[in-house]
Amino acid sequence: MTTPMRVPPSDGDPSDDDRARAAEVLQRACGEGKLTLEEFSVRVGAVWAAATSAELVQATADLAPAPIVGSATTVDRVVSIFSDVKRRGRWRLRSPKLTVRTVFGATELDLREILTDQSIIEIDGSCTFGELKIIVPEGVEVDVSGPAMFTSRNLHLAPVPRVPSTPEVRVTVTSWFSNVEVVSKPYSRPQISGN
């Protein structure tokens, strides 16, 4: 079970080793399902920006004692044939590689709440006469490649620095007569209003 980082109660500058240990605590928490990729990105950004040891401890505090509700099924393949498939919310990758096949359909993959402890997430596949949209958290590095014939391919990432220790997302898609788009968006949880 991942526990918050314990640092001596000094208010001095944290060392690079302290930051690396805190980032490792957060990475384990992400792999255990206690943090989504978006939550991990925010917290690990705070770790590398921390000016004091107290700020470093705060970035690793309050980790959920158990995974938050989401899909218990791990995913390694998403197929859309003459259909519309959306993968949103909290879900877990089975391995660092996700295969996507879209034929005469639309596929949307929202990686902001994905659960993974991988340093590289590979999305590999094809899109033929269809649409593929991938949403990533801001500050995550993305590489898009693969043959594209009669295809619109767009990469729209927010102009923010890469958040250290976040996974790199590698998208390799063969696309024919399709639209392939990768965008970064901040995630904001829906507000629950009281009666």
Q: Which residues contact 156 (CB under 8 A, 6 or more apart)?
A: 181, 182, 183, 184
**pTM of this prediction?**
0.68
Task: Please classify residue 32 by burial: count the beta carbons closer than 10 Å to its beta carbon, then call 0-12 exposed, 13-18 middle and 19+ buried.
Answer: middle
Strand-pair partners of 148: 175
- Report which of 107, 111, 80 is spatially closest to residue 93, judged by C-alpha positions: 111
Q: What is the mean pLDDT of residues 161-186?
A: 92
pLDDT at 172 (0 to 100): 96
> Would you say residue 128 has pLDDT above 90?
yes
Higher pLDDT, 63 or 133: 133
pLDDT at 190 (0 to 100): 47
Judge whether 143 and 119 are in contact, CB under 8 Å: no
Q: What percentage of the chain has pLDDT greater than the value 90?
A: 39
> Would you say residue 151 has pLDDT above 70?
yes
pLDDT, tens digit, 9 for 90 and up, residues 4-20: 554 444 456 788 888 88
Q: What is the mean pLDDT of residues 37-50?
A: 84
Categorize the per-residue pLDDT at 35 as very low, low, confident or very high, splitting at 50, 70 and 90.
Answer: confident
